Structure 1
C-alpha cells in the first residue's frame, strides 16, 4: 500500500469529523516530502486526485469534466502526449478562442510551497494571469521535489542544452479570504492535480 493511501485515510477520517480544512493540522517537519506536498497543496486550495493507474487518470479526468460540465469544450493544451485524452472526450484544442481550461503536464511539484512548477514546454510564453482560471495538471509522484531550487536543478539536468524559458510556479488555487500581501500580484487558479503513482 502506498504512502498516499495511508495519508488519505487519515485526512478523510479527519474531514468527516470536521469539515473545516483549516482545523487539520500536521507538524510539517515530521512529514515525508510526498506528504508535505499534499498537505501544502491542499492548504493552498488545490484539488488533489491520486491515481494508481493510467485507467484511474482517465476516469478522474472524466469526473472533472462531468463535475464542471466541460465535455465538448475548448481547451488549451500544448503537449502532444496529452492530446489522446482530449480526443477521447471530444475536447477541441486546435484554434481555440474561448478555452474552458488549460490541460497540461508540469516540470515538478514543489513540496515546501505546495506549488506546481511550469515552463514554456507546458504553457509557452503565457504568464499565469493570461492562462484560464481553470487548470488540470497531469503529473507523476516522481516529480515531487522538496524545494524550488531542486526543481530548477531538475530542469537544468533534464533539458541539458535546450533550456525552456518562462519558468514559473503557481501556488495559489483559491482567492484569499481576506487581504493577504503574500498573494499580491498573483492570480488564483482553480487547479486540479491528477497525480499518478509511478514509484
Structure 2
C-alpha cells in the first residue's frame, strides 16, 4: 500500500473515523450525530455536570445527591418559579426569593442547545435579573423534549409558542467553569459570567 493510500484509507478494509466533536475545529461542519449526544459532549466540554433521569423519582434522587455532594443541606435555594417550588415542596429543601440569602439558583429553562452545549433561558426563568445577579451555583431541571440543534431553532420555537407574549431577557448559560480561554462570544452570551452548573435532564419523549 502506498503512502497516499495510508493517508486516505486506501484498500478494502477501512477503519472507522476517530473524528469526534471534540477533535474538530470550531469552524468545520458539524458531524451528523444525534442532537442529545452532541449536547452532552458540548455541555460537558463547557464544564457542566449532567444527570440523566428516566423518571421524576430519579430527579429527586439526583437532587439529593447534588445537595449531599456540596453540603447544601442548610443552604436555601434561590428560586423565581413558584410552580417549581411547589413541585419540590415535600423534599426538605429550603427556598428563598432573595438571591443574597443563597448560594444556589434552582430553575427550569427554555431549551438545551446542542450546537454549543448551552442552556437557553428567558424572563420566564430569570424575570428581569441579569446573570451576574444570580448565585454562581445553578441547578437546572430540563426535559429531553427541550433539546434543539441551535439557538436559532430555539428562538423560533419560543416565538411560535408564546406568539404575542414573547418573553424578554433571553440569554444563554454557557460557561460552567472559570476559564481564561478566548471563547467565542455571541449576542446571547456577551457579558455573562462563569457558573457552576448541574443539569437534571428528565426523559419525557
TM over 0.5: yes
> Could you tell me which residue of structure 2 aligns to residue 91 of structure 1?
94
Q: Is residue 2:194 matched to residue 1:188?
A: yes
- 1:126 & 1:87 partners in 2: Cα distance? 27
Aligned-residue Cα RMSD (Å) equals 2.1
Q: Which of 66, 69, 83 is matched with 1:67 structurally?
A: 69
The corresponding residue for 2:158 is 155
Q: TM-score, normalised by structure 1?
A: 0.81
Q: CA deviation at 1:25?
A: 4.3
Structure 2: which 5+ runs fail to align?
1-19, 25-29
Q: What's the offset of the Cα at 1:24?
A: 9.1
Residues 14-53 of structure 1: pairs in structure 2 closer than 5 A? 25=22, 29-53=31-55
Q: Distance in 1 between matches of 2:148 and 2:116?
A: 10
**Shift of the alpha carbon at 1:182?**
3.2
How many correspondences in the alignment? Answer: 176
Specify the SS of the correspondent of 2:31: helix
The answer to whether the 8 Å contact 2:176/2:194 transfers is yes
Structure 1 Cα separation of the partners of residues 140 and 46 of structure 2: 15
Task: Please give the per-residue CA displacement for 1:71-118, whole angstroms capped at 9, x wherever unaligned.
Answer: 132222111221131552231224554211110000000000100000
Quick check: 70-79 or 128-137, which moved more?
70-79
Q: Which moved more, 1:45-54 or 1:70-79?
A: 70-79
Decide which structure has the larger Cα Rg and report it: 2
Q: Which runs of 4+ in 1 moved over 4 A?
A: 23-28
Q: Aligned with 2:160: secondary structure?
A: helix
- The more displaced of 93-102 and 129-138 is 93-102
The whole-number CA distance in structure 2 between the counterparts of 1:119 and 1:96 is 17
- The answer on whether the counterparts of 1:72 and 1:92 sit within 8 Å (CA) in structure 2 is no
The structure with the largest helix share of the pair is: 1
Structure 1: stretches of 5+ with no match in the other structure: 1-22
User: Is the deviation greater in 183-192 or in 136-145?
Assistant: 183-192
Contact 2:21 2:31 survives alignment (8 Å): no
3-state SS of paired residue (1:41):
helix
**In structure 2, C-alpha distance between the alignment counterparts of 1:85 and 1:37, rounded to whole Å:** 26
Q: Does 1:117 align with 2:120?
A: yes
Deviation at 1:179, TM superposition (A): 4.0
